[in-house]
Amino acid sequence: MTEQIPEIEEGLLIQAREGDRNAYGELVSRCYADVIRVTYRLCGDEQLAQDAVQEAFIRAWVKLPEFQSKAPFSHWVYRIAVNLALDALRRKPQQSLDETPDASLLSDKTADPETAYLQKEQADMVQEAVNALPEAARSVLVLREYGDLSYDEISSVLDIPVGTVMSRLNYARNRLREILRKDRFEMEREYA
Amino acid sequence: MPDPIQNKLGAYMDGELNRQERLEVERHIETCAACREEIQELTRVSNLLHDARLPEFTPANDFKTRLMLQLPRQQVVNRQNGREKFLWVGPVVALVAFIFLEVTTNLSSILAWAGQFGLMTLGGGNSSQMIWFSALKMLPGDLTAVPGLTWLNLVNNAGVLTQQVLVTLAWQTAAAILYWGLFVLAWKKTAGRQWAGMMEK
């Protein structure tokens, strides 16, 4: 179930490999949203994710002439961005999400303040649960749930066997369930 | 519920099972409430993950504009197509073959001259007979002289000739490889220094 590269992307890749920056810009536009979403979910830090994604696209540009795979360009960028984000995360001092106020989540003008706050609480709860997973399991989960990659594609991006993808995903989901069940219970108790 | 089925529920939800496995799981969950509940739980967790709000990232256009300013000059690597990549092979092979032949021709002359003075004689005994031929001759009745087996003499002569040619060729080849190897090492050293100088510019 590996996705084939669309024709239009193939054309852009050929031009970009020849040095066409506009073609590369178009490739970036097509996959930026997916890449930043996956990278953010992997590391839970907005600034770190933005920096990692920017660096990933720069590295992909430099190494583009060597990219000969038939897989979508975004999968290759996922691989670079995942590695960069995990490296940066290891170097970063650990701090909880509460210490990094994310004003952007509260800036939704369509929601009333209480709803926006509850949404932020839930988003933080989910992200903290994902952050609590070991790196190996987290990478697989994020690529599956947020990148929508098949098991074969995840296996290719992370360079691990498909069986390992399955076992890590099972572990991640079971672990998430335990953490979220506990968090939900505490949240319901707090707001009761 | 059986462990093998439980381990497949996630893959079933993701649509990653083959037909046989999928049917196996579907048959099982028809009668197993625990597995149905497990699938619902997995779906709920997945929905929670998807519903969690994301921060407002830099818009794609702004990101692209900023990125374009930071892209370095792309390193041009070898983008030649398959055929162009191997155009240099022909001339190099011809040159190598020429050097090899020249060396072996010159060396064969030296070896022939050395052979005249007995300097390159290898092995002892009767050089006009193969060992097996000599053994046959020594047997009672001299099998090599039996009518109907005289073709053995032809085989022996062919073997002796091949042996002499092969030994001479082996010497020539060894000497040529040694000569060529030293030549390549010397060239590599000089060429390597030149390339390093060019890349620094």
Q: How many CB atoms lie within 10 A of CB A107?
A: 11
The per-residue pLDDT for B197 is: 52
Residue B104: is its pLDDT beyond 90?
no
Mean pLDDT across chain B: 78
Confidence class for position B12, pLDDT limits 50, 70, 90: very high
B10–chain A Cβ distance below 8 A for any pair:
yes
Higher per-residue confidence, B195 vs B138: B138
Among A175-184, B107-116, B121-130, top mean pLDDT goes to A175-184
Q: Which of A11-25, A27-41, B66-80 has the highest mean pLDDT?
A: A27-41
> Which of B54, B73, B79 would you mutate first to test chain A, the one with the most A CBs within 10 A?
B54
Handedness of CA A184, A188, A189, A191 (dihedral sign): positive
pTM of the full predicted structure? 0.64
Which residues, other chains included, contact B146 with Cβ-Cβ below 8 Å and sequence gap of 6+?
A: none
Between residues 37 and 66 of chain B, which touch chain A (CB distance below 8 Å)? 41-42, 45-46, 48-58, 60-61, 63-64, 66
- The lowest-confidence range among A34-38, A170-174, B61-65, B154-158 is B154-158
| Amino acid making up residue B42 | L
**Residue in B14, B41, B77 nearest the CB of A177:** B41
pLDDT over 70 for what percent of chain A? 82
**H-helix or E-strand spanning residue B144:** none
Minimum distance, in Å, between the CA of residue A28 and any CA atom of chain B: 7
Identify the residue with better confidence: B93 or B126: B93
Distance from CA of B59 to the nearest CA of A (A): 9
- For residues A90 and A143, what is the distance between their CA atoms, to the nearest angstrom? 19
pLDDT-derived band of residue B19, with 50, 70 and 90 as boundaries? Answer: very high
Contact flag A29-B58 (C-beta cutoff 8 Å): no
**What's the pLDDT tens digit per position in A112-163?**
888 888 888 888 899 999 999 999 999 999 999 999 999 999 999 999 999 9
| CA trace torsion A29, A34, A39, A44 (10° rounding) | 120
Residue A76 pLDDT greater than 60, yes or no:
yes
- Classify the complex by whether its ipTM is higher than 0.85, answering yes or no: no
Tell me which of B64, B76, B77, B79 to substitute to probe the interface with A (most A C-beta atoms closer than 10 Å). Answer: B64
Partners of residue B70 in chain A, C-beta under 8 Å:
54, 58
